[in-house]
Amino acid sequence: MERLQQTWQQRLDEQKSKGGNLDERTIIKQRRNAEPHLWNLNEDPALTDMIVHFIGNGLVKLGSQPPADIQLNGLSIQPQHAVFTNKDNKKVTLTPVETAEVLVNGKPIHSETILQTNDRIFFGGNHLYVFVNPNKRAKKDVKITYDMAQQEIAKCSGLTAGFVDGDGGNKSTAELILEEDLINLLPNVYRANSMSKELKRNVNFEIALVAPEARGLTDGLTEIWIKVHDSVDDTYFMWEKNRFMNRYYGMQEMYQNFVEGDTDWDVPKVSLSLNDRFDATNSTNCFLNC
């Protein structure tokens, strides 16, 4: 890695000695054409491909604290989260550290995994990247988007079996709307679970498709609800999507207070009408074990 950095510095110094003026963007562009790297995906297209992390030769550590070479922060990012191994820019592998959460192309990995160009990598609860090795051509020339990656995660989780496959040509309008809602909701459910785990709230959230008959109706459309499992009492509750989202914003506030070191992070603020946004016992909608 040191040799590689010296090579780029030598090139930069050589260019300056010739009177050239390479700005940072030009250098990054040149490096992206030569070195394995990650670029970010964001739900806001304007913020996609704005962050680039290079994977130098040898071992490259990723985590929330030094000595991580690639430092990420936020939900479920461990101090030492994962390790890349770059063998002369020809072969790059990724290995999670212990129980750290890493998804590759929507699937969890638990051991060393060989990476291919255009692989989608999800770290922790909020960091989504695309891997590129310019020395290895992609198997397929496809445009990678945030929605595509989230759809892939949803499909691999088994939540969308039966209505995500294909290009949408054979789907009804209701199925397309349901699919879009699910793709939009899934990242929030994932983050809610990550926050619950870090805050030790003992609650797990899961997406469920609820038919009109299960809601006591004779007809209507299937809706997305959230199944809530309180592991302390081993009880289950069902929340409507809007109820979950209202609670979700409160969870974010609690988590932010926790991250900022507020000693009263778990004490309700004025903006919260419930003592704990993770508490499922205040639910009125309950179809299971009630």
Cβ atoms < 10 Å from Cβ of 223: 16
Contact 288, 238 (CB under 8 A): yes
Comparing CA positions, the residue from 218, 224, 220 lying closest to residue 177 is 224
CATH no. of 20-144: 2.60.200.20
pLDDT of residue 236: 93
Domain map (residue ranges) of the chain: 20-144, 173-260
Strand, helix or coil for residue 208: strand
Element (H, E) at 10: helix 2-17
Task: List, as one string, the DSSP characters of 90-121.
Answer: TEEEEEE-TT--EEETTEE--S-EE--TT-EE
Element (H, E) at 27: helix 24-32
Residues of the chain with pLDDT under 50: 1-6, 19, 164, 270-274, 289-290
- Residues sharing a CB contact under 8 Å with residue 276, sequence separation 6 or more, in sequence order: 201, 254, 266, 268
Contact 194, 212 (CB under 8 A): no
Copy the structure tokens of residue 103. Answer: 């998804």
Burial 67-84 (b: 16+ CB within 10 A, else e): ebbbebeebbbbebbbbb
Q: Residue 158 — φ and ψ, nearest 5°?
A: 85, 0
Distance CA 190, CA 193 (A): 5
State pLDDT tens for residues 100-131.
999 999 999 999 999 999 999 999 988 999 99
pLDDT of residue 16: 55
pLDDT of residue 265: 86
Comparing CA positions, the residue from 123, 131, 65 lying closest to residue 92 is 131
pLDDT of residue 263: 87
pLDDT of residue 274: 45
Strand, helix or coil for residue 177: helix
DSSP state of 3: H
pTM confidence score: 0.78
> Vertex 36, ends 156 and 47: CA angle to 5°?
65
pLDDT of residue 268: 60
Q: Residue 156 — φ and ψ, nearest 5°?
A: -70, -25
pLDDT of residue 195: 93
Comparing CA positions, the residue from 250, 208, 258 lying closest to residue 229 is 208
pLDDT of residue 273: 46
Strand, helix or coil for residue 278: coil
Copy the structure tokens of residue 129. Answer: 């990247």
